[in-house]
């Protein structure tokens, strides 16, 4: 994604894709959720973290087996991402942190890993 950078210690290989559903679920539950909840808590300046699995995966997360991208999130053109403080936070903090947390590479994780691509008109 344009503007995305992984941290200097990001893996050189995509570990995430090789994980089983159970292994991914464990990483999401015990690594991603607590870290991203605190990240968003700091950004939103809330007293407590307000994130659950459904925040990113949607209200039917379990039924959909946590499939991503989540069609209920707003579509994003990763080559022309939106502007504004939330978009900049996502590009500068969330995407690089997710790359690190799930041990993948920037080639395997970008805006459209979570957000659907826009429909072509």
Residue 33 in domain: yes
Predicted local distance difference test score (pLDDT) of residue 39: 97
- pLDDT tens, per residue, the chain with 121 residues: 334 445 555 567 899 999 999 999 999 999 999 999 999 999 999 999 999 999 999 999 999 999 999 999 999 998 888 999 999 999 999 999 999 999 999 999 999 999 999 987 5
**Domain containing 62: what range?**
16-113
Residue 1 in domain: no
Q: How far is CA 96 from the centre of its chain?
A: 9
Backbone angles phi, psi at 3, to 5 degrees: 90, -10
Residue 71 in domain: yes
State the pTM of this model: 0.85
Residue 24 in domain: yes
Residue 88 in domain: yes
Total domain count, the chain: 1
Predicted local distance difference test score (pLDDT) of residue 78: 80
Residue 9 in domain: no
Q: How far is CA 65 from the centre of its chain?
A: 16
Residue 10 in domain: no
DSSP conformation class of 120: P
Helices (H), the chain: 21-27, 33-44, 53-57, 85-89, 95-101
Residue 4 in domain: no
């Amino acid at each position: 994604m344009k503007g995305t950078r992984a941290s200097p210690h990001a893996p050189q290989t995509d570990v995430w894709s090789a994980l089983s559903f159970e292994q991914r679920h464990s990483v999401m539950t015990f690594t991603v959720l607590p870290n991203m909840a605190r990240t968003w808590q700091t950004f939103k300046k809330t007293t407590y973290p307000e994130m659950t699995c459904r925040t990113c995966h949607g209200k039917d997360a379990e039924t959909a087996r946590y499939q991503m991208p989540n069609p209920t999130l707003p579509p994003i053109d990763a080559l022309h991402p939106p502007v504004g403080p939330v978009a900049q936070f996502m590009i500068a903090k969330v995407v690089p942190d997710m790359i690190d947390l799930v041990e993948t590479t920037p080639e395997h994780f970008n805006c459209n890993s979570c957000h659907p691509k826009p429909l072509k008109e």
